[in-house]
């Protein structure tokens, strides 16, 4: 009842302010009359009586105000008045307003854009039912590393666990596929039967595999991704007639997964695999594991469950297994992996930028607060309370920050649309980067936090002034007091410190990048066209390549190379099973035995037994190549010979090794003539004789030291399912022409084979892309922060010059030379910069340690970067102070003295 009355009264007053005011005036008037009448009755003359009555009522104005000020509607009224007032003052200072709004828009926009990335990649849960229950599963090696699962061990995990609702193994690899609209090279995963159940996702069309699908006779089934279905089948509704050839084998399309299902990322084809029919190996780590933990079971319990099984396996098989334990990680975390550091670095940089932007606007506000002291003092004298002033400032700064935030959100929306073009391709989950409610809430929170902080600061400053002094002092007050100038100094110092941190981070990343790019990789990437030539790979039942398949593959490669070699401008055509750097972590590697006269192992069991003698084993990358590969890549022959015509499939199998392997395995000995047995990776147990020694290559990436490599001949060892057969063309002719001619030749010779042309430099730049992206963004932030800091320094110094016009005039009149004035003014900017830089360096020493994993060949406290950045900032500070200094030097002492 009472609340209702409050509301209705208030609303009536608000909607009809005049009538309400009139009623109050009438009541006061009546009160006055009665009071005067009472005085008259006591014998005062009418005039006097009226005066006495008015005296008693107090200033009728203030009584009226008191009555009027009662009720909540007045607060609304005040707020409205404040808003109008804020609007007037902001539009009255368009320069100040524009700079502030743009600065805040930049800060809020950049942080919102980066937050949208962090939100999609790190924060949002996976788009599957109960995503927290989905985990990745590994074996843990004795050195603590997580390794993929071996067939037999996965089988034990699957059968013996008590905590998983579903457990599946899968592997992923590129595959050549035809039968759709055009031949293509896509990502293909073989998955065990629990795979789709783990995600709890049903196909959009068709069905998932039945548990024993891979054992059934006839054409095996394939499930395709939504994008693949759209692109290669035009989204055909009827799946029954759809067939595909994957690596030369026929598959019937059984289902289409819904659009959001993207695991492993970018995968196009899923086919069923029965692990039991594969090898029962306990040390061939071929399978990636995933699982769904039963509802109500924790991650720790699930891990303990698998640990128990792992211990049992170890107890049973002893040295035949190399697992120590099981490792379990939530899938979301596993996907994100090492991009977390990079993303948090970016978020940190952008947060600092926002801080710098705020500092700048705060500096402007403080300056303006100083200019407005008189107006504020007047309002205080007229009875405005602290609360009213605070409200006024908050309304003003919130208006600023809301305008900046709105513009910032627009900026962020634009940036988010551009992001896919510049984000590194290996960033997981980036298709989810959008401006959603969460991101908008972040922007809103940032906007309000900024507005509230700025308003509070301005009000706190204004509330500290001495009213009398402000009213009494003349125009001096207009240019601000020493105290407000000191506060601006503090703000700008903080701004410079934050800027320095961003600059140092950018500097460290930039220098790392330069070092990476200038590191000699051991080959020449220039003028190399790569042609991914995805010949169907015909494997046998155990996944190995038969001698006939190797021969067919080699013949085709040989014929195609010969035709390409004849193209004008082409100097050499190399054959390779995988490109260094470009394929980074996907390069094949493994252990080998050193035989040297011993009998080769007859089977895998024996191979493993012999491998336990560490004096006779080694570990290296396994690379399939042709003799022209080394010439095309510019990898020098150090000793011995390269592959040659006599190295045919039925001759002695040979290997060429890298210097790193020779140094590591045969220090001080001759590596030539050593005989190796490289696992049974390709099912071929023929020993390899080392015939040549070649230069080192940074195969895993420019930031990794060159490791040991064993090169084998493509005529003797075929390219298995894990390779990407590539022809390398070293050419002086224009890329476009060569690609055109090469495409025509290959399409004529092998029309079903998908081709992908690129240059080796492009492929490597893909590897460099994420570092370049990070560098680009942090560099942009650094540039933005630096210009903001310059504006901040300029503002403080220019203001100080204006305030000290008279003083400078006196100095000039007293005979100070221009140099003295320059020193005086620039010195002020330099002092701020030096103090800020000192704080910034101290902060950087603590913060840049977090960057260590992103740096290459440089320490996180690299003195050159620190000194260089501090110098740069100093220069900018001097430049920013020089402009106002020039004005000060030009001061005419006479007019300066008259300045007041």
Partner 1 sequence: MDEQNTDLIQGTLDMLILKSLDLEPMHGFGIARRIEQVSRGVFKVNPGSLLTAFQRLERMGWLDSEWRQTENARKAKFYRLTQTGRKQLGVETANWNRRASAIARLLKAEG
Q: How far is the CB of 2 from partner 1 (least distance, A)?
A: 5
Q: How far is the CB of 72 from partner 1 (least distance, A)?
A: 10
Closest CB to partner 1 among residues 33, 250 = 33
Residues that bind partner 1 (CB under 8 A): 1-2, 5-6, 9, 23-24, 26-28, 30-31, 33-35, 38, 56-58, 62-63, 66-67, 70-71
Q: Quote the Cα angle for 374-380-386, to 5°.
A: 120
- Residue given tokens 């990343």 in the structure block: 509
In degrees and rounded to multiples of 5, residue 151 shows phi and psi of: -50, -55
Q: 316: which 2 tokens?
A: 């049973």
Q: How far is the CB of 48 from partner 1 (least distance, A)?
A: 18
Long-range CB contacts (within 8 A, 24+) of 890-895:
891/805, 891/808, 891/809, 891/812, 891/821, 892/809, 893/809, 893/810, 893/812, 893/813, 894/809, 895/809
- Residue given tokens 């952008």 in the structure block: 350
- Residue given tokens 């997964």 in the structure block: 257
Closest CB to partner 1 among residues 38, 850 = 38
CB 643: neighbour CB atoms within 10 A?
A: 24
The CA distance from 186 to 190, in Å, is: 13
Q: How far is the CB of 6 from partner 1 (least distance, A)?
A: 5
Q: How far is the CB of 31 from partner 1 (least distance, A)?
A: 5
Long-range CB contacts (within 8 A, 24+) of 603-609:
604/279, 604/281, 604/680, 607/677, 607/679, 607/680, 607/685, 608/283, 608/320
Q: How far is the CB of 33 from partner 1 (least distance, A)?
A: 7
Closest CB to partner 1 among residues 66, 892 = 66
Closest CB to partner 1 among residues 23, 744 = 23
Closest CB to partner 1 among residues 7, 783 = 7
Closest CB to partner 1 among residues 37, 871 = 37
Alpha helices in 372-481 (DSSP H): 373-381, 386-422, 437-463, 467-472
Q: Going along 478-604, which residue ranges are E strands?
A: 528-533, 570-576, 589-594
The CA distance from 236 to 180, in Å, is: 11
Peptide bond into 264 cis (omega under 30): yes
Closest CB to partner 1 among residues 59, 441 = 59
- Residue 125 to residues 131, 142, 233, 302, Cα–Cα distance (Å): 7, 32, 31, 20
Q: How far is the CB of 384 from partner 1 (least distance, A)?
A: 18
Among positive and negative, which fits the CA dihedral 869, 870, 875, 879?
positive
Say whether 609 sits in a helix, a strand or coil.
helix
In degrees and rounded to multiples of 5, residue 403 shows phi and psi of: -60, -45
Burial 402-412 (b: 16+ CB within 10 A, else e): bbbbbbbbebb
Beta strands 146-147; 205-206: pairing state? unpaired
Closest CB to partner 1 among residues 66, 212 = 66
Closest CB to partner 1 among residues 43, 218 = 43
CB 318: neighbour CB atoms within 10 A?
A: 8
Q: How far is the CB of 82 from partner 1 (least distance, A)?
A: 23
The CA distance from 373 to 523, in Å, is: 69
CB 177: neighbour CB atoms within 10 A?
A: 27
Q: How far is the CB of 67 from partner 1 (least distance, A)?
A: 5
Closest CB to partner 1 among residues 57, 99 = 57
Closest CB to partner 1 among residues 63, 883 = 63
Reported as type and span, the H/E element at residue 811 is: helix 805-813
Q: How far is the CB of 34 from partner 1 (least distance, A)?
A: 4
Q: 287: which 2 tokens?
A: 């399978």
- According to DSSP, the residues that pair with 293 across neighbouring strands are 164
Closest CB to partner 1 among residues 73, 305 = 73
Q: How far is the CB of 462 from partner 1 (least distance, A)?
A: 24
Nearest to 359 by CA among 290, 452, 454, 481: 454
Closest CB to partner 1 among residues 3, 602 = 3
Q: How far is the CB of 58 from partner 1 (least distance, A)?
A: 5
Closest CB to partner 1 among residues 23, 441 = 23
Question: For the purposes of burial, counting CB atoms within 10 Å of the CB of 566, is it exposed (0-12), middle (13-18) or buried (19 or more)?
Answer: exposed
Q: How far is the CB of 464 from partner 1 (least distance, A)?
A: 23
DSSP state of 539: B
Q: How far is the CB of 49 from partner 1 (least distance, A)?
A: 13
Largest interatomic CA distance in the chain: 140
Closest CB to partner 1 among residues 19, 845 = 19
Q: How far is the CB of 780 from partner 1 (least distance, A)?
A: 56
Residue 200, sorted as left (phi over 0), alpha (psi -120 to 50) or beta, turns out to be: left
Q: How far is the CB of 28 from partner 1 (least distance, A)?
A: 7
For residues 139 and 271, the answer to whether their CB atoms sit within 8 Å is no
Say whether 422 sits in a helix, a strand or coil.
helix
Nearest to 120 by CA among 327, 430, 344, 400: 430
Closest CB to partner 1 among residues 1, 300 = 1
Closest CB to partner 1 among residues 27, 605 = 27
The CA distance from 405 to 354, in Å, is: 11
The residues near 714 (Cβ < 8 Å, ≥ 6 apart) are 553, 554, 557, 575, 577, 624, 625, 626
Closest CB to partner 1 among residues 6, 468 = 6
């Amino acid at each position: 009842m009472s609340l209702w009355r409050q509301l209705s009264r208030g609303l009536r007053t608000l909607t009809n302010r005049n009538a309400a005011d009139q009623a109050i005036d009438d009541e006061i008037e009546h009160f006055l009359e009665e009071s005067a009448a009472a005085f008259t009755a006591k014998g005062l003359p009418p005039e006097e009586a009226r005066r006495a009555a008015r005296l008693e009522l107090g200033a009728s104005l203030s009584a009226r105000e008191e009555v009027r000020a009662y009720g909540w509607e007045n607060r609304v009224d005040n707020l409205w008045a404040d808003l109008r007032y804020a609007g007037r003052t902001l539009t009255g200072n368009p320069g100040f307003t524009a700079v502030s709004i743009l600065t805040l828009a930049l800060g809020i926009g950049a942080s919102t854009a980066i937050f949208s990335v962090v939100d999609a990649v790190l924060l949002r849960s996976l788009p599957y039912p109960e995503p927290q229950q989905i985990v990745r599963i590994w074996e843990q090696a004795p050195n603590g590393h997580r390794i993929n699962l071996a067939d037999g061990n996965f089988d034990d995990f699957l059968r013996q666990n008590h905590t998983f609702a579903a457990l599946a193994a899968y592997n992923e690899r590129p595959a050549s596929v035809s039968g759709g609209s055009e031949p293509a090279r896509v990502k293909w995963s073989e998955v065990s039967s629990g795979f789709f159940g783990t995600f709890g996702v049903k196909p959009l069309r068709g069905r998932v595999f039945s548990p024993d699908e891979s054992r059934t006779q006839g054409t095996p089934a394939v499930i395709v991704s939504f994008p693949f279905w759209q692109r290669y089948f035009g989204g055909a509704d009827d799946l029954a007639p759809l067939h595909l050839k994957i690596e030369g084998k026929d598959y019937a399309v059984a289902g289409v997964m819904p659009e959001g299902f993207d695991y492993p990322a970018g995968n196009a084809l899923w086919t069923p695999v029965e692990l039991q029919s594969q090898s029962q190996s306990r040390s061939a780590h071929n399978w990636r594991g995933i699982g769904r933990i039963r509802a109500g079971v924790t991650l720790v319990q699930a891990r303990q469950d698998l640990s128990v099984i792992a211990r049992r396996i170890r107890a049973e098989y002893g040295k035949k297994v190399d697992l120590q334990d099981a490792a379990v990680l939530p899938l979301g975390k596993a996907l994100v992996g090492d991009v977390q550091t990079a993303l948090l670095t970016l978020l940190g940089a952008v947060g600092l930028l926002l801080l710098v932007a705020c500092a700048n606007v705060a500096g402007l506000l403080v300056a303006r607060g100083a200019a407005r002291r008189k107006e504020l003092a007047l309002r205080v004298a007229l009875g405005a309370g602290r609360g009213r002033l605070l409200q006024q400032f908050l309304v003003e700064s919130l208006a600023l920050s809301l305008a900046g935030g709105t513009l910032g959100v627009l900026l962020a929306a634009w940036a988010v649309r551009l992001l896919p073009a510049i984000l590194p391709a290996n960033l997981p989950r980036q298709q989810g980067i959008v401006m959603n409610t969460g991101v908008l809430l972040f922007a809103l929170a940032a906007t309000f936090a900024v507005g509230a902080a700025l308003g509070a600061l301005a009000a706190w400053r204004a509330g500290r002034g001495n009213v009398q002094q402000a009213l009494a002092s003349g125009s001096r007050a207009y240019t601000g007091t020493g105290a407000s100038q000191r506060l601006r100094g503090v703000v700008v110092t903080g701004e410079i410190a934050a800027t320095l941190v961003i600059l140092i981070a950018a500097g460290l990343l930039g220098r790392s990048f330069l070092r990476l790019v200038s590191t000699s990789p051991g080959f020449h990437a220039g003028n190399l066209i790569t042609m991914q030539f995805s010949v169907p790979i015909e494997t046998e039942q155990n996944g190995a390549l038969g001698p006939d398949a190797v021969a067919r593959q080699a013949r085709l490669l040989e014929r195609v190379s010969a035709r390409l070699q004849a193209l004008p401008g082409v100097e050499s055509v190399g054959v390779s099973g995988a490109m260094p750097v470009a394929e980074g972590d996907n390069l094949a590697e493994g252990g080998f035995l050193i035989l040297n006269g011993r009998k080769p192992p007859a089977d895998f069991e024996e191979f493993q037994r012999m491998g336990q003698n560490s004096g006779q084993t080694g570990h290296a990358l396994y690379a399939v190549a042709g003799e022209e590969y080394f010439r095309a890549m510019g990898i020098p022959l150090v000793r011995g010979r390269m592959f040659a015509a006599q190295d045919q499939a039925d001759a002695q199998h040979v290997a060429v090794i890298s210097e790193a392997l020779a140094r590591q395995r045969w220090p001080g000995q001759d590596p030539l003539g050593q005989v190796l047995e490289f696992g049974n990776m390709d099912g071929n147990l023929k020993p390899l004789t080392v015939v040549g020694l070649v230069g080192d290559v940074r195969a895993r990436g420019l930031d990794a030291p060159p490791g040991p490599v064993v090169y084998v001949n493509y005529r003797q060892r075929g390219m298995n399912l894990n390779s990407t057969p590539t022809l390398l063309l070293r050419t002086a002719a224009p890329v476009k022409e060569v690609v055109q001619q090469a495409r025509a030749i290959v399409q004529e010779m092998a029309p079903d084979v998908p081709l992908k042309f690129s240059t080796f430099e492009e492929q490597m730049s893909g590897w460099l892309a994420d570092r370049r992206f990070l560098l680009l963004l942090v560099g942009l932030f650094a540039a933005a922060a630096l210009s903001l800091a310059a504006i901040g320094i300029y503002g403080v110094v220019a203001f100080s010059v204006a305030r000290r016009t008279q003083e400078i005039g006196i100095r000039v009149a007293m005979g100070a030379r221009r140099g003295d004035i320059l020193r005086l003014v620039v010195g002020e900017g330099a002092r701020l910069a030096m103090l800020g830089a000192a704080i910034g360096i101290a902060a950087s020493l603590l913060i840049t340690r977090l960057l260590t994993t992103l740096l290459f060949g440089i320490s996180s406290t690299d003195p050159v970067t620190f000194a260089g950045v501090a110098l740069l900032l100093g220069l900018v500070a001097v430049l920013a102070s020089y402009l106002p200094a020039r004005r000060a030097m030009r001061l005419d002492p006479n007019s300066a003295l008259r300045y007041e």
